[in-house]
Chains A and B, each alone.
Chain A
Amino acid sequence: MSEIERYLDELFDRLAGQGAAGRRTLAEAEDHLRAAAANAVASGLSADRAEHDAVSRFGSPAMVARKMRAAHGARRLNRALSAGWLLAGLTFTGLGAAYVVAARRLALQPPSCTVFLTSSCYLRGHITSAVSSAAIAASSGTILLLSRWLAVRYAGLAPARRGFASTSAMLLVLTAVFLGIMGWPPALHILFLQWPLSPILIATALTECIAVAVSLADSRPRQHLP
């Protein structure tokens, strides 16, 4: 086995886990090393010596793999930030949906006191509170989603993976609506007073963690080699 072949084998091992970026790096390294060796042979060196020089000048496989991982690591951070931003926007939008469901539920049912609702249990006040909370949450979600879109468009923020936004949106809205139907109207004062015990906060935080983890795991560039 030639020295270039041995080098590429080791580089292949070191690039494990880097997906398409790793495959591309391997292809570029092979082209580079073979071109360098061919040029050296053309200038009079023996084939063995030419391969040895080409490999020596390229740097160790560990160093190349480490730098390549670092080069694409920032991309992962960018994607994580993008995913978190998106999910924050969707979470607020989902909260808006939960407030709407809660308001509708309150409108349909006679007033009753729950652990979440404070002393007066005045139905109209709770409906008004839920509607205004829905407006605040929906507005916040819209602002977050709009600002993220602008950041993707003009500031280099990574776009979401195909299907990620729609899946996350569906999951979060369903969770929020479910919580609203189950009688946990996420009144803003509850979110603050009972944090971190509020069920909706825990549910949305867990959902966000799972979604960000999925985004990170799926963050390798899907650049198919022709």
Chain B
Amino acid sequence: MPSFLGVDLRGHLDLMLLATLRDVGPAHGYAIIASLRDRSLGAFDLPEGTVYPALHRLERDGLINSEWDADAPRRRRVYQLTTAGARALAAKRQDWRDFARGMQVILGHGATQEYG
């Protein structure tokens, strides 16, 4: 099961992929995964092959698009965020912030002190 610091990532992978594409710009699958791992300081634990079905799903939904990179030494698909994807990312970020704020309230002041 994909996890980040022990938290199940299912349901959040799409958000992370969209955010990565927003930050790094057009990128192929390996670069997207490498960026996710680097930005999480190695804590991002995900079977890398699961990223591609997620990318295909996001493309099917019109949130990203892709094309073959003609300059790459091997066949390589490059993905980038669409306008609809940027809008969806903004909406999901707000949802996530609301969720995190709610969790913070539920976990209480002790959790704030313990984890900073």
A68–B61 touching, CB < 8 Å:
no
Measured between alpha carbons, how far is A35 from B30 in the docked complex, in Å?
7
B48–A31 touching, CB < 8 Å:
no
A-side binding surface: helix, strand, loop or mixed?
helix
**A75 contacts the other chain (Cβ, under 8 Å)?**
yes
Q: Report B-chain residues with C-beta under 8 Å of the C-beta of A74.
A: 57, 60
A63–B49 touching, CB < 8 Å:
yes
Measured between alpha carbons, how far is A72 from B57 in the docked complex, in Å?
7
B50–A32 touching, CB < 8 Å:
no
A226–B68 touching, CB < 8 Å:
yes
Q: Report A-chain residues with C-beta under 8 Å of the C-beta of B24.
A: none
Task: Tell which of B71-79, B87-95, B100-108 binds the partner.
Answer: B71-79
Measured between alpha carbons, how far is A27 from B70 in the docked complex, in Å?
14
* Size bin of chain B's contact surface: 20 to 34
Please count the residue pairs between chain A and chain B whose beta carbons lie under 8 angstroms apart in the complex.
77
Q: Which residues of B38-94 have CB atoms within 8 Å of chain A's CB atoms?
A: 47-50, 52-54, 56-57, 60-62, 68, 70, 72, 74-77
**A30 contacts the other chain (Cβ, under 8 Å)?**
yes
> For residue A58, which residue of chain B has the nearest CB?
B49
Measured between alpha carbons, how far is A41 from B43 in the docked complex, in Å?
22
Interface residues of B (CB under 8 A from A): 28-30, 33, 47-50, 52-54, 56-57, 60-62, 68, 70, 72, 74-77
Interface residues of A (CB under 8 A from B): 21, 24-25, 27-32, 34-36, 57-60, 63-64, 67-68, 70-72, 74-75, 156, 225-226
